[in-house]
A and B are shown apart, each in its own frame.
Chain A
Amino acid sequence: MTIINITLPFGIIKDISDYSRFINEILKYDITLNILKFSTGSNGINLLIDIPEDKIKTITESLRKSNIIVNKKGRVFIDDEKCVDCGACISLCPTDALHLDFEERLEFSYEKCIGCLLCLDSCPRYAIEEM
């Protein structure tokens, strides 16, 4: 399973029928998915979903046709000057993008980050910044 971040930009969903259309769009591919996080922000509605690796392409293409943003790439970076290698962010990271290396120093794997931003306000040194 792989985690992707879906953003429904502000204005796309106006009523319940828009919701149904969006959900049906996903359901028609018969994909088991776990919704990990549902949040609203100034950019719209964000859904963090866990889907089978081999369905990513299908679902991404389908959603993008409806102007829904699908993101797999990382969205934060770590300021090494500020970081004190404590680990307060690690337990919040659902994909181990933030982890300790063999020396117990904080290491960030950009390709694993799915941009959930849960870590953003966990850093006591303000060393995690949104890109």
Chain B
Amino acid sequence: MTKTYNEINEKIKNGDIVVVTAEEMVKVVEDKGIRVAAEEIDVVTTGTFGPMCSSGAFLNFGHADPPIKFEHLWLNDVHAYHGNAAVDCYIGCTRMSDVRRFEYGGGHVIEDLVSGKPIRLRGNSYTTDCYPLAEVDTEFTINEINQAILCNPRNAYQRYVCAVNSSDKTLYTYMGKLLPHFGNAHYAGTGSLSPLSNDPDYETIGIGTRIFLGGGIGYIIGEGTQHSPSDQFGTIFVKGDLKQMSQEYLRGVTYEKYGTSLFVGVGIPIPILNEGLAKKTAISDKELLTDVVDYGVPRRGRPKLKQVNYEELKSGFIDLNGKKVKCSSLSSLFYARRIAETLKKWIQGGEFFLNPPAERLPTETIFIPMKQTSKLKFVKDLKRDAIICYDDCDLKTVAEKIINQNMNHIIITDRNQNLKGIVTSFDVTKAIAKDKTDLDEIITKKVIVTTDNEPIDVAARKMKQNDISALPVIDEKNKVVGIITSEELM
């Protein structure tokens, strides 16, 4: 059995097209088998609605009088990229407001723009003979500019990892708030409803494919950046007319202490051209696997702890070494379903036709890491010998070491080099001011530490976050093997 795009579009025109959502397709194939499903079902609709950081919009404001060639410009105090012709710009969703910072960013500008709110445009220029105007401060709405084109270089990840945190502090990440000691888990994507999971070989999803984008019509214009279909991390590059879209499917968001982003609604129709596609679109949550990844390790190669399927993820708990970890999604299944249903209605109503891709997307590419020419520095490369006092010594001994060794931080250990605490010159001064003589009274016992193989930047961030200027370096047995201070980092 095979069908053509023409036959499918003819059915749409005649109003006898049969469309189901990808979730419904699972049931259809289960009940009737692949052969019958392939004959009866013409189109399967998919949907996803979640944070997609690689999103933004091209805007063209028209010329000012006298004309200006922007060098820098801001939309509601969010810096937009200008590197094109005079009055074009690109507003990216993760750029944060210069004034409101985390609270408001490019994603929120796009939401406000699409909802018809006035946007303040400020810009400046170095001026040229043809563009003499130096400054602009004005206001516009979406209908008062020439083009507003949503253009997202990476959307609709085929699947995404499930994030957990093994460390001993709460992490604020692009995967949301992750509690310490595997306190919770977050995942993204809609499983069996996910657009790219329903056509994993990119038979029908390609350049030129017409899609649901942000509540309007959009197109796939290529593979997304970091497109990595060989390990099921395919992505797409999409564009669409922002003027036709709706606020409901484009929402500015903030991930606390991480930054801003944009929730984008994407839905792709999959024509059932053959039995193979019927089978692929019937993929269930149980068959879609992803990795549980430990974000507690701040390295590119974050440890993969195990594989889970989307059925387990959607159940609200995942099992991690026998522990039930509460798990929730960052994407909205409710809106994803609404997108798949909307697309279904458009097709059934004869408003939306399917087209073959002008070109196929690559299916073999992989995502390569950054080439870094400067060698990554580790704590072991910069650490120095720690000045140590035993925990049974007195305050005077500590004070003498501070002076004789010219070191602000004295590490306190037991006789076997096990870390017990840290004392700074300030602690000693304070002790004298307050008439304290016992070392035990001034020692900081909960010490933030580092290890030999921690990258310098990670150690530096620990110091900055905790407002401290040194970290004892310990080995896996809690024995002190050195110290790193802010001086070494300068």
**A103 contact set on B, CB distance < 8 A:** 334
**A91 contact set on B, CB distance < 8 A:** 176, 184-186, 326-328
Q: Are B334 and A124 closer than 8 Å at their CB atoms?
A: no
In angstroms, Cα B330 to Cα A120, docked, is 15
Q: Are A121 and B332 closer than 8 Å at their CB atoms?
A: no
**B176 contact set on A, CB distance < 8 A:** 88, 91, 122, 124
Q: Are B177 and A105 closer than 8 Å at their CB atoms?
A: no
Q: Are B184 and A92 closer than 8 Å at their CB atoms?
A: yes
Interface string of B151-183 (1 = CB under 8 A from A): 000000000000000000000100011010000
Binds B, one of A11-19, A40-48, A79-87: A79-87
A126 contacts B by Cβ under 8 Å: yes
Q: Are A125 and B332 closer than 8 Å at their CB atoms?
A: no
Which listed residue, B179, B185, B330, touches A86 by the CB 8 Å rule?
Answer: B330
Interface string of B312-328 (1 = CB under 8 A from A): 00001000000000111
**B354 contact set on A, CB distance < 8 A:** none
In angstroms, Cα B103 to Cα A124, docked, is 10
Q: How large is the interface on A (under 10, 10 to 19, 20 to 34, 35 or more residues)?
A: 20 to 34
In angstroms, Cα B259 to Cα A124, docked, is 10
Nearest CB on A from B396, distance (A): 27
In angstroms, Cα B257 to Cα A90, docked, is 19
Which listed residue, B51, B326, B329, B333, touches A124 by the CB 8 Å rule?
Answer: B51
A104 contacts B by Cβ under 8 Å: yes
B interface size (C-beta, 8 A): 31
Within 8 A of B (CB), among A46-96: 84-93
B50 contacts A by Cβ under 8 Å: yes
B204 contacts A by Cβ under 8 Å: no
Q: Are B253 and A125 closer than 8 Å at their CB atoms?
A: yes
B10 contacts A by Cβ under 8 Å: no
In angstroms, Cα B329 to Cα A92, docked, is 11
DSSP class of B's interface residues: helix, strand, loop or mixed?
A: strand
Nearest CB on B from A131, distance (A): 20
Q: Are A86 and B184 closer than 8 Å at their CB atoms?
A: no
Which listed residue, A84, A87, A118, touches B251 by the CB 8 Å rule?
Answer: A84
Q: Are B328 and A121 closer than 8 Å at their CB atoms?
A: no
In angstroms, Cα B103 to Cα A126, docked, is 9
In angstroms, Cα B316 to Cα A93, docked, is 12
Q: Are A88 and B337 closer than 8 Å at their CB atoms?
A: no
Q: Are B337 and A104 closer than 8 Å at their CB atoms?
A: yes
Within 8 A of A (CB), among B40-60: 49-51
In angstroms, Cα B480 to Cα A32, docked, is 38
Q: Are A84 and B263 closer than 8 Å at their CB atoms?
A: yes
**A104 contact set on B, CB distance < 8 A:** 332-334, 337
**A124 contact set on B, CB distance < 8 A:** 51, 176, 253-255, 261, 263, 330
In angstroms, Cα B185 to Cα A90, docked, is 10
Which listed residue, A90, A105, A118, A125, touches B328 by the CB 8 Å rule?
Answer: A90
Closest to A124 in B: B253
Q: Are B177 and A84 closer than 8 Å at their CB atoms?
A: no
Within 8 A of A (CB), among B292-348: 316, 326-335, 337
In angstroms, Cα B176 to Cα A125, docked, is 12
**B328 contact set on A, CB distance < 8 A:** 87-91
B139 contacts A by Cβ under 8 Å: no
Within 8 A of B (CB), among A95-121: 100, 103-105, 118, 121
B256 contacts A by Cβ under 8 Å: yes
Q: Are B254 and A126 closer than 8 Å at their CB atoms?
A: yes
Within 8 A of A (CB), among B231-278: 251, 253-257, 261, 263
**B50 contact set on A, CB distance < 8 A:** 86
Nearest CB on B from A86, distance (A): 5
Q: Are B333 and A88 closer than 8 Å at their CB atoms?
A: no
**B253 contact set on A, CB distance < 8 A:** 84, 124-125
Which listed residue, B177, B329, B332, B334, touches A122 by the CB 8 Å rule?
Answer: B177
Nearest CB on A from B23, distance (A): 11
Nearest CB on B from A63, distance (A): 27
Given contacts A121-B256, A122-B256, A125-B253, contact A88 B335 (CB under 8 A): no
In angstroms, Cα B257 to Cα A122, docked, is 10
**B327 contact set on A, CB distance < 8 A:** 91
In angstroms, Cα B228 to Cα A37, docked, is 41
**B251 contact set on A, CB distance < 8 A:** 84, 125
In angstroms, Cα B253 to Cα A125, docked, is 5
Q: Are B177 and A87 closer than 8 Å at their CB atoms?
A: no
Closest to B51 in A: A124
Q: Are B261 and A86 closer than 8 Å at their CB atoms?
A: no
Nearest CB on B from A91, distance (A): 4
Q: Are A86 and B254 closer than 8 Å at their CB atoms?
A: no
| A–B pairs, 18, beta carbons within 8 Å | A85-B334, A87-B330, A87-B332, A88-B176, A88-B186, A91-B327, A93-B326, A100-B334, A104-B333, A104-B334, A104-B337, A118-B179, A121-B172, A121-B257, A122-B176, A122-B177, A122-B256, A124-B51
New A-B contacts (6) at CB < 8 Å, excluding given A87-B329, A90-B328, A121-B257: A85-B335, A86-B50, A87-B328, A87-B330, A88-B329, A121-B256
Chain A residues near B (Cβ < 8 Å): 84-93, 100, 103-105, 118, 121-122, 124-126
Which are the 5 A-B pairs with shortest beta-carbon distances? A124-B253, A90-B328, A91-B184, A91-B328, A87-B328
Chain B residues near A (Cβ < 8 Å): 49-51, 103, 172, 176-177, 179, 184-186, 251, 253-257, 261, 263, 316, 326-335, 337
